[in-house]
Amino acid sequence: MDSGISGVRNLLFVVMALVIVAILSNFWVASQLDRSTQELASLRLLMQKQMMGTALTQAEELQKRMDALNQSAAGIDGKMKQAQEEMDAHLKKAQDDFVARMNVELPRMMDNYVKSRAKGLQPSIPQEIKEKLGQTPRQR
């Protein structure tokens, strides 16, 4: 019976050694799992910071582009206003030139028209009126 008890005792020592190895391996696995969890959490924070930094950088670049676009639009508005003012000035000058030309040309055209119509009516016009029609406006 002693040999049976000593076999059970040996077996008990082996089982105890295996239990101790299992407990130690569980602690080691748990510590490794905890370390991995902490590393993942720190990576998550790092990625969030990096993403926020990237988003802020992109937002700043976008703001700079928008400012540059606004400045170009303001420059274009100024140029359009200047071009419109120049066009208005040219149109006003053309109108003034037209009116001045009409003031000179229209009386001449009317005189020529009246003279051409008067020649057809001359047989029925008294001599006194014929003489007045023959005179130029400067002679009168």
pLDDT one-digit tens code per residue, 91-131: 999 999 999 998 888 888 888 888 887 776 655 556 666 66
Confidence of residue 88 (pLDDT cuts 50, 70, 90): very high
Integer Cα distance of 51 and 65 in angstroms: 21
Q: What's the angle, vertex CA 17, arms to CA 13 and CA 18, rounded to 5?
A: 120
Q: Which amino acid is at 127?
A: Q
Q: What is the pTM of this model?
A: 0.38
